[in-house]
Structure 1
Amino acid sequence: MSALLVVTAVPAEAEAIRAGLAEPAVTVAPVGVGPAVAGAATARLLALAEAAGRPYRAVVSAGIAGGFVDRVPVGGTVLASRSVAADLGAESPDGFLPIEELGMSAELLGVGSVVPADPDLLAALRTALPDAVVGTVLTVGTVTGTAGSTAALAARHPDAVAEAMEGYGVAVAATQAGLPFAELRTVSNPIGPRDRGAWRMREAFAALTTAASALR
């Protein structure tokens, strides 16, 4: 039985993780970019494994991410205390309203816009990666690319350390399957105006390979 399913967006992330794995009973699967495809593909992988009699015990969303300046350095490693659908809600004259503030019932909300990391899984990863920065990791459908939107996002989420595009979708799939979930990211660039010259992809992938030793 595979103990752990690690989901990435793209093959390069999966390859970086496989290069650092110390545990053979870990499945690493690139599933695509964005919360919808990541959630749907993860749910399918979990359902197929369960149907085959080899269910997974936990799910980790992993890959590279943008980091908030002064909260996590480029090349640093991040563990999500919770994964948040940062743009799931509505605009209003007073600013963004998360879905929880739209007057919907708990039944309609489902899991809501926030999925906490499993405490035991997070604790194990923190022990294995003591230098990792722990905080909220935001899931967005559109990568933040202006100073204004960066400032607004940072103000709405003062405990956020990074943003990516898949964590929340993977978290919902794991939650629906009743499985522990965690999110692991390494930072390739600062969040803000797009400056490809400031991206450090090689360093982020190297950090991901190093962090993969914690995935057991």
Structure 2
Amino acid sequence: MKQDLLLTATEMERDGIAQFDGLAADRVNVQVIGVGLVAAAIHTMQALQRFQPARVIVAGIAGRFGRADGLNDAGDLNDGTDLDAATDVPQHAHWFRRLALDGIGVGQADQFLDPQDLGWDFAGKGTRNVDCALPCPVDQVTGLADGYLLSVCAASASAEEAQWRQQRFPGAVAEDMESYAVVKACQAFDVPVFVLRGYSNSVGHRDHASWKIQPALQSIASQLQWFWKTC
């Protein structure tokens, strides 16, 4: 029987998810694919060839878009998260069914134009958006994002840059650096892929000392526990 494949960008995320019992050792291979779109694409394809999994889950931390400036007065998460009814863990993680890509194109900041703006064929389909699978029918999924995940070549460095991206992608809920590449690689191999991201910080907030990494990883683990039992 084929196992699932769980992918994280870093060893820290892998170990943190394991710490909170988010892994089903008898059902899943866990691989670290590196930070960024290029590393993620290469190592995902290598893992797909090596393990030939039944399904792929990419999981890890991400920044969450908040209000217009992405921050509250303390520069912290401004997301109104609720407690997970089953675990009393803050709901800092979501499954995503839509992704978009930003950062490939011409120019920077206000002069930036992506391939779609330039009329080029984007990723072979003329669009910067991609759909991915859900772990279960939509009405059964807990923690489903109501917007999409924006994968970027370089994360937003300030509240101003976060606001600029949010204006260009008003449906974006969160920002990461790997998921779009993982989804495209899995689609090339015709393998179902699921995207799960936990929110450690507001987009553009770079003070790592105040990031909520452990709550984000704990919420990811809680979602994965549900996944292994339900799907």
Which of 63, 66, 79 is 2:63 aligned to?
A: 66
More strand by share: 1
Residue 89 of structure 1 corresponds to which residue in structure 2?
Answer: 105
1:101 equivalent in structure 2: 117
Distance 1:209 1:125 in 2: 20
Question: Given that residues 126 and 132 in structure 1 are in contact (C-alpha distance below 8 angstroms), is that contact kept between their aligned partners in structure 2?
Answer: no
Contact 2:101 / 2:151 at 8 angstroms: preserved in 1? yes
Query: What is the aligned counterpart of 1:204 among 216, 221, 228?
Result: 216
Other-structure match for 1:155: 167
Aligned equivalent of 2:84: none
Sequence identity (%): 29
**1:214–1:97 CA distance, 2 compared to 1 (3 A):** farther
Other structure's SS at 2:218 match:
helix
Q: Is the Cα contact below 8 Å between 1:21 and 1:215 reproduced in 2?
A: no
C-alpha distance after superposition, 1:121-149 (max 9, x if no partner): 35457724x24433211111211111221
Q: Alignment partner of 2:50: what SS?
A: helix
Structure 2 residue aligned with 1:127: 140
Could you tell me how far apart the structure 2 residues matched to 1:163 and 1:92 are?
A: 18
Aligned length, in residue pairs: 206
Q: Which of 123, 140, 143 is the equivalent residue of 2:152?
A: 140
Where structure 2 has 5 or more consecutive residues not aligned to the other structure, the ranges are 68-77, 82-89
Kindly report the root-mean-square deviation, in angstroms, between the aligned alpha carbons of the 2 structures.
2.5
Is the CA contact (8 Å cut-off) linking 1:67 and 1:163 kept in structure 2?
A: yes
- Asked whether the 8 Å contact 1:42–1:170 carries over to 2, the reply is yes
Contact 2:7 2:59 in 1 (8 A): yes
Question: For the Cα contact (< 8 Å) 1:16–1:208, is it kept in 2?
Answer: no
Worse overlay, 92-101 or 141-150: 92-101
Give the secondary-structure state (helix, strand or coil) at the position aligned to 1:97: coil
Contact 1:39 1:173 in 2 (8 A): yes
Q: How far apart are 1:61 and its partner, in Å?
A: 1.3
**Bigger fraction of residues in helix:** 1
**Structure 2 partner of 1:57:** 54
In the alignment, the residues of structure 2 paired with residue 145 and residue 94 of structure 1 have an alpha-carbon distance, to the nearest angstrom, of 15
5 Å matches for 1:177-216?
A: 177-216=189-228
Alignment partners' CA distance in 1, 2:223 and 2:213: 15
Verify the 8 A CA contact 2:95 2:143 in the aligned structure 1: no
Q: What 5-or-longer segments of structure 1 have no aligned partner?
A: 50-54
**Contact 2:4/2:29, CA 8 A, preserved across alignment:** yes
Alpha-carbon distance in structure 2 between the residues aligned to 1:163 and 1:93: 17
Shift of 1:166: 0.7
**What residue number does 2:5 align with?**
5
Contact 2:95/2:145, CA 8 A, preserved across alignment:
yes
Offset, 1:40: 0.4
TM-score, with structure 1 as normaliser: 0.83
TM-score (norm 2): 0.78
Give the whole-Å Cα distance in 2 for the aligned partners of 1:58 and 1:136. 21
The answer for the alignment partner of 1:115 in structure 2 is: 130
CA distance in 2 between counterparts of 1:95 and 1:122 reads 39
Match of 2:27 among 25, 28, 46: 25
The equivalent of 2:36 in structure 1 is 34
Structure 1 position 174 matched with structure 2 position 186? yes
For 1:126 and 1:134, locate their aligned partners in 2 and report how far apart those are by CA, in whole Å. Answer: 13
